[in-house]
Structure 1
Amino acid sequence: MVFPQHLAALYSPRRADMLAIVVFALLSLAFGQTPTPCQSPMEWTGQRMVIDSSKSFYERARVYYDATNKRVRHVEEIEQGRERDFYDVLYLFNEKKEYRVNLHTKKCNVTTLTREFRPVGVPADAKFFGVAEIGAPNIPLEHLTTVTFGGNYTTDKVRYLTTVTSPDCVPIADNYYNDVTGYVETRYFEIRPGTVDPAHFQPDSSCM
């Protein structure tokens, strides 16, 4: 299966530039009191979609997230060019271990995690960029308020924009850019905050 062309068009670098312009324009919609960085849910289950159109890369994953214990699990469907793969990946940052199971071959690859845990949500030093409404603002339960923050991660020189709901601070989107990876966009959906069953953070039996 090739990379979905409609997604490639939607998430092109030109569209990314347009998105940045729109976000800056949202400053005019800001509330009288400037929003400050908020705390996103520490545990949740949901899904995410990652797009890197420059590399014809598309990922959709079921996510189990536990920031308290720095552990994350992705059940992934990945497309890159004409290649398509399925993985079950467990990241245990406190143990510095990654368990990656190829769901076709059932082979497990265990490696050492060298990168630090990066929470999903708004960094404490992020700067406010703008506020927007999604949906029909005059119809109850048919719209939500979003807040966008941005900044730089100094460790890997990444510029980012992060959008969350207000006031609950549930993640909606992350947009990253640096000179090595280029522009990468992540969308979150069907997020359900709450305690995640610890069984989801146990390595697959093929890894033992």
Structure 2
Amino acid sequence: MATLALVSLCVIIGVISAQQPAPCATPVQLAMRASQYNHEDDVMNRFFIAYDAVNKRKVIFEEENVLMPGRQLHEFLILNNVNIEYDFNMKTKECRKSIPRPWRPFGIPSNATFEDEFYIGGPGEEVFAQDWSDRVPYSRREMWIGTFSLKHCYPIREVLVAGEQVNTSITTNFHDIVDGIPNPGDFIPPPECEQAKWGISTRTYPW
């Protein structure tokens, strides 16, 4: 009986697993805007991002925030393909270079856990979406949750928990997404970076 029960349990688990959706594939080249809220620091930041997973590179342009006018804005050119990151202060024109963090794509990890499926908006304007996370069922809580559109697998929202407390989380919303790279010149370092010295990047963002 015990063996039969074990076999039945395995069959049930197998059936449930087979019914779970597979992660979709996010486009490998995108341009988009993002707004990011750091819950611990109570700070909102806005960006324009160009993303090229084919060549493992991305560029992040900080944008003016009405809540923090006059602050210094940076361009972060992250070239994992050549293992260099440029931190360019767009106000002072100062540039430094550093070793970038390991490449982190915007897509759904292949081992992600499916959480939910729903639509955003109301009748006639809904966008179907899915939630995925890095939660390991019965073993580890989620530290990353990503929401992606179902049709084209565009990133919509991302929540990262920096520690064990929820109030250390960072929430990012993506919008105005465009397929491809509208301006390839965004990946060319500013002229001021040609003589950049090695230092530590001021980038605190998770990507």
Shorter-chain TM-score above 0.5: yes
* Stretches (4+) displaced over 4 A: 78-83
| Alpha-carbon displacement from aligned partner over 1:99-135 (angstroms, at most 9, x marks no partner) | 111111011111122x211100211110110011111
d(CA) in 1 for partners of 2:50 and 2:175? Answer: 13
Q: 2:99 corresponds to which residue?
A: 112
Q: TM-score, normalising length from structure 2? A: 0.74
Q: 2:180 corresponds to which residue?
A: 194
AA partner of residue 144 (structure 2): Y
Distance 1:185 1:149, change over 3 A: same
Computing the radius of gyration from Cα coordinates, the structure with the larger value is: 2
Q: 1:162 corresponds to which residue?
A: 146
Q: TM-score, normalising length from structure 1? A: 0.74
Q: 2:34 corresponds to which residue?
A: 48
The secondary structure found in structure 1 opposite 2:148 is strand
The secondary structure found in structure 2 opposite 1:85 is coil
Q: Is the 8 A contact 1:150 1:161 kept in 2?
A: yes
The secondary structure found in structure 2 opposite 1:200 is helix
Q: 2:132 corresponds to which residue?
A: 149
Q: Which runs of 5+ in 1 are unaligned?
A: 1-31
d(CA) in 1 for partners of 2:20 and 2:108? Answer: 15
Q: Number of paired residues?
A: 170
The secondary structure found in structure 1 opposite 2:73 is strand
Which of 25, 28, 37 is the aligned partner of 1:39? 25
Distance 1:158 1:86, change over 3 A: farther
Deviation at residue 167 of structure 1 after TM alignment: 2.1
| Alpha-carbon displacement from aligned partner over 1:120-175 (angstroms, at most 9, x marks no partner) | 021111011001111123x2xx111010001159xxx9711010001210100111
The secondary structure found in structure 2 opposite 1:206 is helix
After alignment, is 115-124 or 32-41 more displaced?
A: 32-41
Deviation at residue 71 of structure 1 after TM alignment: 0.4
For residues 1-208 of structure 1, the aligned pairs below 5 Å read 33-77=19-63, 84-113=71-100, 115-137=101-123, 139=124, 142-151=125-134, 159-179=143-163, 182-208=168-194
- Greater fraction of residues in strand: 1
Deviation at residue 82 of structure 1 after TM alignment: 8.9
After alignment, is 52-61 or 166-175 more displaced?
A: 52-61
Deviation at residue 34 of structure 1 after TM alignment: 3.0
d(CA) in 2 for partners of 1:191 and 1:39? Answer: 15
Q: Is the 8 A contact 1:57 1:78 kept in 2?
A: no
Percent identity, aligned pairs only, is: 27
AA partner of residue 53 (structure 1): H
Q: Is the 8 A contact 2:48 2:63 kept in 1?
A: no
AA partner of residue 174 (structure 1): E
Distance 1:201 1:42, change over 3 A: same
